Structure 1
């Protein structure tokens, strides 16, 4: 590395707010460092390392997909020159000890993380790299521009825009996005093609990459006035030469200081619109004005009656048609849209169970399809997952007669399904139905595939999963809402049922 160039740092943490906070603790470039990339888990970090070539990796320990311990081992095995600093919580000593054995520089406790302690550890890491010498006097303009852009996109105010004005000399700005969901392994190729096309087709255009995630490359485009049509033509040609890659383009804006506002209020809307229309080669701001209105109300009460009366074909046809109508309405946020479909799947399973069908096998399909919905890159993919689940529900019905023919069990299950969110106990249910508790326990086990406690916990955990998918409420509040007065017991039961804690489950869903 050339003496005096910034030391390159990559941040790896599954919590976006922590990554943002670290990036803005201090002026990294003034201290001789440059943040070259960020990732939400170990796998994303490994995909970025070759592209951004960091000298230092600042990584969390507990993350989904690939944690910091495994990431440390892989990086040290394949990139031994990269120094690693670990972020940890108080309860992660075994992880930290294991990572030290893999050769990390140091660790920082998250609750005690501050600018000074972070700088000290970073400087310690630099001392272990003899070819790097930090210089506060050698800061290139492009690095300062990148930091300005990052602050504006993150919602921070900046003191001076002089460097940006020199770097972007033209009066018209656009935010341009290249959708790479269908071509995840071609980020570098798409990025280079976009920059090359604008360099060749539009004189003096500045096409600067500003943000990258697993779904979209983002560029800040700076050109002369009255060349909007020219930009659109170039992008359409670019899309045709890069199959599977589409683009979104904001309307022009003239003030660089408005970059963050344009990103949040225009660009993210265009990105959402593309989720509904993934085959459109170019999404423009004017397309949003023609967006369909709000979707129709889902008639759950009517659906319940149809299923109870055995009119399954009518009920399932309504569900599929409603799903297609929802996919044609691009006003709902992507998370909200996916939650609506997960709720439909959840309710169908509950209703079939209440009718008396054995849905144990269907529940496995339910969780698989809900997981695939969370990973879906387009509205059409979400609809196909719903249709796949409906096909599995039909198969469930065809393969069996209702498993509950006993009217007493039907009343018991219906009562539990209605009151599970209350502090329900076997004794209270027995009192309600005038049974002795021990007799009810035996009766329930003999006439149902699950015992009373197992059935009640499954119902509550399923409801908790539903809320974690659709609500931002605190986990302690969710545990109380689904019937658990003891939060620690809820966490224990949840982990036993799903294999992870409620907080880990929520973090996975937010990715």
Structure 2
């Protein structure tokens, strides 16, 4: 089922198309309708529809302006223009913007259904062609010769002199590379659901070729791009032929976004692409390729399945002096005290600060290694003291484990899992001692509940525990906070006194630790549903034979 949105400033037109067309029967889910191009563009950016049906003349942003934005940013989206204006220049502009159909109003329901069926058939055919992995397998043996691929890789990664470039282009039958030009680098994030059944490197290589094939076909559709694979198992392209750098960057972003979308949609895996700086000659391509790889590294900060342009990302200078003062120490303390929520919060804040710093990936890894070293030191200290059943053995590989991950998000998840396991291990070693401490605390409360000044601080001094750790441990052991537990004990004692003695209410309040009888009455009613007076009277009535 494809997703579609409807754009028209006339409510009657929108309602008519919504009610008279059974969109689902024609293979489309109508996910929204909008009264102007600006609202539709915001929706397109968020919802990523496959089809946009739009009027031309609308307030704020007309249909052709919307078509231009869509063609540049989301070229895989199909667009149908419905208009009541039979003007040739409109049709010309729509063709230039690669609008799928330009239809004059009024359009009948039958004509609209036929149009939707036609568009769906074309989209199905495109999907079938791209999803036919069997066809991709047969094309693997007929791909571009390895020499051509190595030539393009050397041109982009290492550079060549002008005569050698011209000779290579002539030998491989490549057209002239008109500057400006730039490089795009694409890397598979992971294999998604296939990770569970990938048996060997051959399966992974086949999927890498499938990604490259989509890259190659998409570039061929657009023209002015040379696509190749690198020995680092990436796909890459050299884009050229634009009149200026702005136009070149728009073309490169459109190509990259189209590739990203098709890989996700048809192969069910994700890629991240980096777009480098423009250069003024083929000899300067290594500078562009290097900056494309730098843009690709921003996946570490911003996440997978994105297109990163180095020109956009380097608007602000990165903070190369960034550090995480005291955060790693606080994390170690939180682990020792079993404060898992505090530990997770610290990890989230550290990762957020690294991400916002826009610092180089090497600086981020260095700061994260400091965090891991602090954890290892804390574990070593517990191991040396023979406390809590924690051992250092087997954990020194954590420092190299960091480099297995491609994004800060993955490292954040790994840190949280590691910290959670540590806290659980420490908790298991402390469980017997902890239960004894909690029993001691409960006994202390039972003995001192009548003391109005009984406090958490006093109780923690008695059991020799910090307030934060005690509060967490007490809640885990009893299911109640200190205040909840103390209040429950006092109310239960008050109920016993109400039932067994003629004491006045203020006397009972004082005996269970409340100097203010009114506050005691409010608390009593909150916990029992009755005032002390009602509670005593009800007990008296129940005793009457």
TM-score w.r.t. length of structure 1 = 0.44
Q: Which has the larger radius of gyration?
A: 2
More helix by share: 2
